Structure 1
Amino acid sequence: MGILTIGIIGAGRIGKLHADNLKLMPQIKIKAVSDVVVDHLHEWAASKEISTLTTNYQDLLADPEIDAVFICSPTNTHASIIKEAARAKKHIFCEKPVSFSVEETIQALEVVKEHGVQLQVGFNRRFDPNFKKVHDLVQQGEVGQPHILKITSRDPQPPSPEYVRASGGLFMDMMIHDFDMARYVMGSEVIEVSAYGTTLIDPAIEEAGDIDTAIVSLKFANGALGVIDNSRQAVYGYDQRLEVFGEKGAAAADNCRPTTVEISTGENVVKEKPLYFFLERYTQAYIAEVTQFARAIMENQSVICTGNDGLQAERIAKAAKESLLSGQPVKIEHKKYAVN
């Protein structure tokens, strides 16, 4: 395949970001973009050499020139569009999560499998060079048998109550990234979850039916333990850290900062705050994930982050919500979904 022709469904912040990153690859052509409103997109589309704007995403699925679609629309549309795209024989990149329902996700994966197309789920943190390095070190045995995983993921500011209501909740919207990282880095399934959560930042989040502060304990099939902490507001920036401790030592990834400069004086030692926004923190990861997706399609390889990976992260998120509500640990049976 010489040129891979792409259509993007949803031209919000993440859809535009993917367009920017796809434009970095000369073998990619973005032919069409759909959104519920396109009047404000004409100048942007022209700057990206995108020839078609439409309010109907099905126009992209009906276009025989389009090889693959990026689904960047609201989560409640993902599963149905995945099924339509698969039936139209389009390869699919879908933002996380696939759906808010494990059953609905399985149905979508069935259709993808039936029609033989590729599906990559947008867990971009797998492609971050720091986290990937920790993953590689663990898989190479550098820390020996893993014993403890620690993940810290804290946003710089909370989302709006309107966003919270439509998000699926903290576990499905925010911590789902960390559930995927836990499986990815440890190379083992999570078999039990204990979740604790509360609202300490914004009462409006509680009124919207969610929490803004959470700690989740994990048990892995390989015997290791894990802990994840999330907060919707870290006043010092976007806090993203990870550590794997094992029998031979530990591997850790720290926050990314604007520079590595540290000023030491008689009064104090000062270094810069973490990068503030997720688009800054994961710039390289976003580029790498779309590059890998395009390469997988063009070279007929398997994608790195499959529909099964999306499904298993959703199962952990669902179990965490059940644990929060019940106050009890919840066991998980991870039935692997064969993608081929």
Structure 2
Amino acid sequence: MKKYTIGVVGMGGMGFRFLNSFIESDRWEVGYVCDLNEARLEKARDLIPTAMFTKNLDDLLNDPAVDAVAICTLADIRPKLLTEALNAKKHVIAEKPLADSIAGEWELLKTIEASGLMVAVDIFNRNAWYHDEIQAFIASGEIGELAIVSVDHQTPGLMPTEGHSPEGPPFHDCGMHYVDVARWYAGSEYKEWHAQGMRMWDWEDPWWLSAHGQFENGVVFNITQGFVYGQMAKDRTVRCGIEVIGTKGLVRMKHDMKTVTIEYHGVNTTKIKQGDYGSKKTDVMCERFAEALDTGDDSRLPSARDSVIASSVSQEMLDFAKAHAAPAIGTRDEMESILEHRKQLKA
């Protein structure tokens, strides 16, 4: 079984997630780690001292031994790095969104699709075992014809000012994952929707948003996402999952970021299954990418087109909510109290 050589670029949180997954995989050799921050390079050196460490992307792009590049930087610099990697004939795993503007993403997609190289984007739900199993149950006919998809992802996530600014507010940065999930399940493109936002703590952007509408094939959807779920609650809680209703049955899934619970209610089957949530599934992404390089078949990889569509639609839903006078509840003083509380928790 062939082992491929990877260069990891951008050693933030996701960069280290991917680095660890590559190190643990028997399909990958970490050839290079690239970042402008010396402290991050030193931290990476502790994990994989056999790699080459550099602040210059050209070092790994000019090395013919490097098969692929993982681009884990923020969105504002991704288009430049991704284009340079493709010009160097390297396959790419990239974080999402692919650029810090929708126009930039669509322009970059043209380059990607004309390159003849494999580019997979970390839309992590597409690598989740539980979505694979739920979709197999639906495909078996157990719930009849799919009619309604409802997705919920509400957590005490990043607060305003805490980071990810090139990726945008929560419904774009995080919500695009769930816009993608609904489209994936429906097997169709979005047709129309209404979106309601809430500008918590009087922040200018909605920090909670719920959208509902229909796909071109008639399947209807509801997506709710926000980083407002009990920010200062004594005990941390989340509301995350999906419910898929058909003409004959249904299946629903919930998770608490640790354990997944799936409830199957089909015409012949009623069961409950639990399993590990698996965080960002970077290990699965790494394995599937190697398999795709083996076979030339990238159908199991989350594609750049899937990512750009999810990014575009989530931004349009966010813009809709902002244009229709999203109300503001809460104060900036409350926001500052929450930010201080989160600092203490991290400390």
After TM superposition, the score normalised by the length of structure 2 is: 0.81
Q: Answer whether contact 2:190 2:215 (CA < 8 A) is retained.
A: yes
Q: Answer whether contact 1:135 1:186 (CA < 8 A) is retained.
A: no
Q: Name the structure 2 match of 1:174.
A: 174
Instruction: Report the AA paired with residue 290 of structure 1.
Output: C
Deviation per CA, 1:78-132: give whole Å up to 9, x if none: 1222111111100011111112333222222222233210010101112222222
Output the CA distance in 2 between the equivalents of 1:80 and 1:59: 16
* Cα distance, 1:51 vs structure 2: 1.9
Output the CA distance in 1 between the equivalents of 2:225 and 2:9: 30
Change (3 A) 1:10 1:165: closer
Change (3 A) 1:320 1:247: same
Instruction: Report the AA paired with residue 300 of structure 1.
Output: G
Is 1:224 aligned to residue 219 of structure 2? Answer: yes
* Cα distance, 1:40 vs structure 2: 4.2
Change (3 A) 1:54 1:164: closer
* Cα distance, 1:212 vs structure 2: 1.3
Q: Name the structure 2 match of 1:25.
A: 25
Q: Name the structure 1 match of 2:207.
A: 212
- Match of 1:161, SS state, is coil
Q: Name the structure 2 match of 1:282.
A: 278
* Cα distance, 1:148 vs structure 2: 1.2
Q: Name the structure 2 match of 1:189.
A: 189
Change (3 A) 1:98 1:164: closer
Percent of residue pairs identical:
23
Q: Name the structure 1 match of 2:330.
A: none
Q: Answer whether contact 1:129 1:284 (CA < 8 A) is retained.
A: no
The 5-angstrom pairing of residues 259-274 of structure 1 reads none
* Cα distance, 1:258 vs structure 2: 5.3
Output the CA distance in 2 between the equivalents of 1:139 and 1:309: 21
Q: Give the number of equivalent residue pairs.
A: 307
Output the CA distance in 2 between the equivalents of 1:117 and 1:6: 15
Output the CA distance in 2 between the equivalents of 1:132 and 1:108: 29
* Cα distance, 1:286 vs structure 2: 2.6
* Cα distance, 1:160 vs structure 2: 4.5
Change (3 A) 1:17 1:260: closer
- Match of 2:100, SS state, is coil
Instruction: Report the AA paired with residue 210 of structure 2.
Output: I
Unaligned runs of 5+ in 1: 262-274, 329-340
Q: Name the structure 1 match of 2:292.
A: 296
Q: 2:302 aligns with which of 305, 308, 317?
A: 305
Q: Answer whether contact 1:33 1:50 (CA < 8 A) is retained.
A: no
Output the CA distance in 2 between the equivalents of 1:176 and 1:213: 13
Q: Answer whether contact 1:68 1:92 (CA < 8 A) is retained.
A: yes
Q: Answer whether contact 2:4 2:290 (CA < 8 A) is retained.
A: yes
Change (3 A) 1:14 1:220: same
Q: Answer whether contact 2:123 2:177 (CA < 8 A) is retained.
A: yes
Displacement over 4 Å in runs of 4+:
256-261
Q: Answer whether contact 2:34 2:41 (CA < 8 A) is retained.
A: no
Change (3 A) 1:297 1:258: closer
The 5-angstrom pairing of residues 1-340 of structure 1 reads 2-163=2-163, 165-200=165-200, 202-203=201-202, 206=203, 209-235=204-230, 236-256=236-256, 281-283=277-279, 285-303=281-299, 304-327=301-324
Output the CA distance in 2 between the equivalents of 1:210 and 1:76: 19
After TM superposition, the score normalised by the length of structure 1 is: 0.83
Deviation per CA, 1:205-248: give whole Å up to 9, x if none: x1xx3221111113111101111111203233343210100101
Instruction: Report the AA paired with residue 130 of structure 1.
Output: Y
- Match of 2:76, SS state, is helix
- Match of 1:283, SS state, is coil
| Greater Cα shift, 115-124 or 1-10 | 1-10
Change (3 A) 1:257 1:60: closer
- Match of 1:76, SS state, is coil
Output the CA distance in 1 between the equivalents of 2:16 and 2:35: 11
Q: Answer whether contact 1:4 1:28 (CA < 8 A) is retained.
A: yes
- Match of 2:296, SS state, is coil
Q: Answer whether contact 1:69 1:91 (CA < 8 A) is retained.
A: yes
Change (3 A) 1:234 1:16: same
Please tell me the root mean square deviation across aligned C-alpha atoms, in Å. 2.5
Output the CA distance in 2 between the equivalents of 1:53 and 1:238: 39
Deviation per CA, 1:50-96: give whole Å up to 9, x if none: 42111122322222111001110011111222111111100011111
- Match of 2:243, SS state, is strand
